[in-house]
Amino acid sequence: MSYTLYYSPGAASMAVHWMLIELGVPFDAVRVNIEAGAQRAPDYRRLNPAGRVPTLLVDGVPCTESTALLMLLAERHPEAALAPPPGTLQRASWLEQMIYLANTLLPAMRDWFYADKDGDPAGADAVRALARRRIEGAWQHLDARLADGRAWLVGERLSTADLLAVMLMRWSRNMARPATTWPNLAGYIERLRALPSFVELNRREGLTDWLNEAP
Ligand SMILES: N[C@@H](CCC(=O)N[C@@H](CS)C(=O)NCC(=O)O)C(=O)O
């Protein structure tokens, strides 16, 4: 199996990068300078027509969409048990969390960060206001899920849902109410970002601003 990840530090590629590190499989990582617009270069667009990160070459074939990539990697590496077995009730819970994060939180995050670029800048404030409500609603929802003291979003162990959730929680760090201000999310985030694979991920991506501070 060969993997090449096209990534940008801290971007939607981060959860996939984290998973590759957590799996301990060999892979190449190619940085795409999205601040300089490298995601719109014709060579990159041939791999990812939307001009976004991540792209993962899987045995040479370009695959996209961070959530889909996490699910694919879980299937290709079942021994890592980063997803519950198909057909089980825990699988149902995992599917629910993955789809919720991808379908509710991720698009709201895109609206929050890209309101001016994706839409009419004149309407961007209204888009951001709605995005913020949806993002904070998601923190509320996830906080309630963790209120029973569970350590992980699904079952009794780390899963791809945690990798995706923590990446999205990190994106809220400069918002008015970051995820870390919800009581149950605070402890969850503290535990997850202490994982050696998360520390290594940040080292490889050159990120230092959401690691050791108190949540
Ligand atoms: N739904 C996509 C979203 C990807 C996405 O929006 N990536 C952003 C970085 S977080 C990007 O590539 N931005 C550059 C651009 O849109 O020009 C996924 O989950 O992979």
In tens, the pLDDT along 16-42 reads: 999 999 999 999 999 999 999 999 999
Nearest atom within ligand 1 for CA of residue 11: 10
Confidence label for 211 from pLDDT (cuts 50, 70 and 90)? confident
Give, using CA atoms, the residue closest to atom 18 of ligand 1: 65
Adjacent-strand bridge partners of 62: 57
Residues in contact with ligand 1 (CB, 6 Å cut-off) = 11-12, 34, 39, 51-54, 65-67, 106, 110
- Dist. CA 40–CA 163, nearest whole Å: 27
Residue 89 predicted with pLDDT over 60: yes
pLDDT, the chain, mean: 97
CA distances from 24 to 145, 154, 201 (A): 30, 22, 12
| pLDDT one-digit tens code per residue, 167-190 | 999 999 999 999 999 999 999 999
User: Rounded to two decimals, what is the model's pTM?
Assistant: 0.97
Nearest atom within ligand 1 for CA of residue 37: 17
**Helix or strand holding residue 112 (H, E):** helix 106-118
Percent of residues, the chain, with pLDDT higher than 70: 98
Give the residue, out of 35, 52, 67, 167, with the most ligand 1 atoms within 8 A of its beta carbon, to mutate for a pocket test. 52
Residue 212 predicted with pLDDT over 70: no
Lookup result for tokens 């940040």: 202
Adjacent-strand bridge partners of 5: 29, 56
Adjacent-strand bridge partners of 3: 58
C-alpha closest to that of 13 among 46, 45, 57, 49: 57
Mean predicted confidence (pLDDT) in 108-123: 97
pLDDT in the model for residue 143: 98
- Dist. CA 138–CA 178, nearest whole Å: 12
Nearest atom within ligand 1 for CA of residue 113: 10
Confidence label for 214 from pLDDT (cuts 50, 70 and 90)? very low
CB-based contact 70:28 (threshold 8 Å): no
